[in-house]
Structure 1
Amino acid sequence: MFAAADAMAIVAASYLAWFMRVWRRGDPLPDAWEEWFKQPFLFYTVPIGLYVFSVFGLYRPRRDRSLWGEQGSVIKASLVATGAVVLALWVTGSALAEERSGPALGPWGWADTPAKVQLTWLAIILPAFVGLQRAMVRIGLRILRARGWNLRHVAIIGTGRLGQIACRTLDRNSWTGISVSYFIGHHPRTSRTSCLNRPVLGGLCDLEKILEERPPDAVYLALPSRLASEIPDVLQRLERFPVDVRIVPDVSPRYVPQSMSVSELEGMPILSYRESPLQGLGGFTKRFVDVVGALVALVIFAPLMVLIAILIKLTSPGPVLFRQRRVSLGGSVFEIYKFRTMYADERGDLKPNSGGEGIDGWTQREDPRITPVGRWLRRTSLDELPQLFNVLRGQMSLVGPRPERPELIERFREDWRGYMLRQHVKAGMTGWAQVHGLRGQTSLRKRLQYDLFYVRHWSLWFDVRILFMTIYRGFVHRNAH
């Protein structure tokens, strides 16, 4: 079903891209419609698109797949498919060397021929069309499945805490269309007859008999960790039956990341439980957004930064910038830049604290060392603008947990479990905690919870959301000081 819908979306996107080419060229539409069917473009686009989508796993049966996760895969697959079409046309010499049709759209003259105009539009339209139709189909299927249509009946092996968690989770997410029909006890024999209003048909000794009499569509293996040694034997017994098998690991949900991957090395399965999300394409795209965003911000804020530098020099002696050692990705130490907001001596060192520094090393609201201009800068967070240079140097990101001093991290890593997970991503100028008002002297526990949520659920769209929230909610906050 999805392949047929994708094929129609590819045809529609191809035609609209062709229409943009014809419209730019000024040809009458009826003639263009006939010409469209004579072009090799369509015969490349549909099979290549379907093949690439298959390689990206878009046709695997995944009822529990998130809509946003699928949209990300669609965008990547669509761009790869467009690139493959370009390569195919170039290899076969079809249509890429046509007459020029107008001014180039870019410095390299990419879109200066009709075919290139068409391919450029295809790269824009294809992910939009395929993503839209897939979202509509997915939502429609979810509605039908939640109402009892297109169900898959499953059995859960394990009546303990883990099996009950699996059952309740599937019940809450009825849109998956996965219905728990019965349980099988995790002991050889069991006296239980029901669990969560489902029948318990027997224990592990009765496994084969139960599956023969009431064959399910899939089996969820939810054995407690103390019975982990039994899993290989149960899996071997399940090989005799044509059912899908899924394993529910006995791991607390709070320790489960957003996604885990499974790889294989000489037949040995390896489960990647925790790794930095900024690897491969994710790290490249985040770095690209950081560089572009920092350059744009520097252009916009350059006049203001010059004005701030002048005000600092006119109102207090000392350097314009304040430098301090902070920690970022992987424990790397760097010098963070800020506009100086406190009084300094002739050498540029900050004046000694006279009771203004809190017990956690952060500046208090009424710190007497803060200059009048510095108080305004802190209140508006404009003292952070020089960190755009840290972003360009690759030491920080636009979005991420705020960087801390090395001495504080050494203390926090002992006091707060999971604190070091913050260093799986680069430190940021703004973050998930900051847009929720957790700045200054606010709860470290809450701040850590928001930071860890960001690390475990990072995506490019999450970064974009935080940036928009930062702009929408403004830079001024009552906890900034």
Structure 2
Amino acid sequence: MIKDNQRYLNRLHVVVDAVVTAASYLLAWWLMFGSRFADKEIGVLDMGIYFSALYFVVPGYLILYYWNKLYTPKRVQRPENEILNIIRANLIGIVLFLAGLYLANSIDRELQHFSRGMLALFAIINTISGILVRALIRRILHLMRKRGYNLKHILLVGYSRAAEAYIDRIIANPQWGYMVRGILDDNVPRGAVYKGVKVLGSIDNLPFILPENKLDEIAVTLALQDYDRLEEIVNLCEKSGVHTKFIPDYNSLIPGKPYTEDLGGLPVINIRYVPLSNTLNAVAKRAVDIVGSLCGLIVTSPLLLIVAILIRATSKGPIIFSQERIGQHNHAFKMYKFRTMYVQDTTEEKKGWTTKNDPRVTKVGRILRKTSIDELPQLFNILIGDMSLVGPRPERPQYVEKFKEEIPRYMIKHQVRPGLTGWAQINGYRGDTSIRKRIEYDIYYIENWSMSFDFKIMFLTIFRGFINENAY
């Protein structure tokens, strides 16, 4: 059984970590004091004092690794999360070590000579060693699982979209080491196959399969219409002692990234996580918008003046063109742009998007559109709070009314401020391109927002966003 293998692997992992931690400490000491190039006149403590610290360092770091979830199964754990946990554990470890030395110094004044430089060297070596050793272990386990060793055998109870999605991910990631033995379902005939996984029979066969003790996990993947049997099936699986997990079939209802919260002991599923609903995140983003728009206006002011003169000299009409757009919380606002078209009446203006070689666009306007310079007046929109430097691009009211009926989840984009640039735009979805794909990128941005993500988008806009073949 895989659970026995996991127990042995965890024990081995603890031993490896203990050896790596001790070796890193000893190496740090040798590099600091043991080589023939070391300065012998810096008041080095007795070697025994340094080495006696290992009695506290090794078990202490193993406990920190445990608290930072470094002994959880690595099948589906993301490598970057593991790296962050190693760094966090070592930072906490070195802070606790220094705090311990400070307290011990009041008892034994000699410990004030304990080398802080050696501790810093130890923290660096141990962090790098821990990351490399875990990468090696992960690689070995992946190779073993691809060759059919250390597999976790799973039975799915219920045929649904959730079951298909689960199988798809397992097939796409053989390094996880999952082996789906089959599916039990009351509505799909026995012998039906999905990507090599067979329906073995009805759910009523579960009491006869569980006693065979050949399964490592049961995944309950019932379709929504079969949820009346959920409690019965979970109770049956729990009695068998087989690890059971529930994969809800709610993708059609909750297509985003849901998160749970505890409401006095009652788990509540929030349909979508929007980081910018957090006040601190919103305030931080707004501060960046204010500073960024002010700096942008100052830096581009000579260019703004030149463009204004060119527009005035080459065509009749106002320099700045304003148009109603829909922003955060469905609030309508006037979005500013440099005028790039000949002056039109209201009905002509609402005719549609600009297309390639559109006769309404002026010669100067084509250059401004192609280089996105016509968007620069939106820095004023950002400054007054209608827009943000980064976010989904705003649409006109008539298109919002049209798309919200045609495209699922379209209105989610209005949960945040619209942006001068966005994740969809730097990926090529601007102008006359797929609205559905644009919304997919916008929702990804909304659900995965971070300040670093914003800076990444602004940086990439320099190379991908200003000049675009779809900007007419």
* TM-score between both structures, scaled by the size of structure 2: 0.71
Summarize the alignment of residues 156-171 of structure 1 with structure 2, pairs less than 5 Å apart: 156-158=156-158, 163=163, 166-171=166-171
Q: Distance in 2 between matches of 1:231 and 1:307?
A: 65
Q: CA RMSD in A?
A: 5.1
Choose the corresponding residue for 1:420, options 391, 398, 411: 411
Task: Read off the aligned partner of 2:76 and give its amino acid letter.
Answer: D
Aligned residue number for residue 305 of structure 2? 309
Choose the corresponding residue for 1:82, options 75, 85, 91: 91
| Structure 2: tracts of 5 or more residues without a match | 1-9, 106-114
Shift in CA distance, 231/292, structure 1 to aligned 2, threshold 3 Å:
same
Shift in CA distance, 147/129, structure 1 to aligned 2, threshold 3 Å:
same
Q: Distance in 2 between matches of 1:123 and 1:398?
A: 39
Per the TM alignment, residue 399 of structure 1 is displaced from its structure 2 partner at its CA by 3.5
1:150 aligns with 2:123: no
Q: Distance in 2 between matches of 1:323 and 1:60?
A: 56
CA contact (8 A) 2:289 2:388 kept: no
What SS does the corresponding residue of 2:439 show, helix, strand or coil?
Answer: helix
CA contact (8 A) 1:341 1:377 kept: no
Greater displacement, 466-475 / 432-441: 466-475
Shift in CA distance, 375/355, structure 1 to aligned 2, threshold 3 Å:
farther
Choose the corresponding residue for 1:448, options 439, 442, 461: 439
1:153-197 deviations in Å (ceiling 9; x for gaps): 11222356654554454234321101123443447xx98367566
Q: Distance in 2 between matches of 1:40 and 1:385?
A: 65
Aligned residue number for residue 276 of structure 1? 274
1:236 aligns with 2:235: yes
Aligned residue number for residue 209 of structure 1? 208
CA contact (8 A) 2:390 2:418 kept: yes
Task: Read off the aligned partner of 1:233 and give its amino acid letter.
Answer: E
Per the TM alignment, residue 149 of structure 1 is displaced from its structure 2 partner at its CA by 1.8
What SS does the corresponding residue of 2:180 show, helix, strand or coil?
Answer: strand
Shift in CA distance, 220/366, structure 1 to aligned 2, threshold 3 Å:
same
Aligned residue number for residue 353 of structure 1? 345
Per the TM alignment, residue 242 of structure 1 is displaced from its structure 2 partner at its CA by 2.0
CA contact (8 A) 1:220 1:245 kept: yes
Q: Distance in 2 between matches of 1:195 and 1:49?
A: 48
1:376-395 deviations in Å (ceiling 9; x for gaps): 33221123345456556665
Q: Distance in 2 between matches of 1:388 and 1:168?
A: 45
Q: Distance in 2 between matches of 1:307 and 1:459?
A: 31
Structure number with greater Rg is 2
Q: Distance in 1 between matches of 2:27 and 2:417?
A: 41
Summarize the alignment of residues 62-461 of structure 1 with structure 2, pairs less than 5 Å apart: 63-67=75-79, 71-72=80-81, 74-75=83-84, 78=87, 82=91, 86=95, 89=98, 93=102, 133-158=133-158, 163=163, 166-186=166-186, 192=190, 195=193, 203-252=202-251, 256-257=255-256, 259-278=257-276, 284=281, 295=291, 302-313=298-309, 315-316=311-312, 326-332=325-331, 336-338=335-337, 340-342=338-340, 351-353=343-345, 357=349, 359-360=351-352, 362-363=353-354, 373-388=364-379, 396-406=387-397, 408-455=399-446
Work out the percentage of aligned pairs sharing the same amino acid.
32
* TM-score between both structures, scaled by the size of structure 1: 0.69
Task: Read off the aligned partner of 2:302 and give its amino acid letter.
Answer: V
| The structure with more helix, counted as a fraction of residues | 2
Q: Distance in 1 between matches of 2:55 and 2:389?
A: 43
Shift in CA distance, 233/274, structure 1 to aligned 2, threshold 3 Å:
same
1:271-302 deviations in Å (ceiling 9; x for gaps): 33323144559x73x97588569857975884
CA contact (8 A) 1:399 1:427 kept: yes
Q: How many residues align?
A: 443
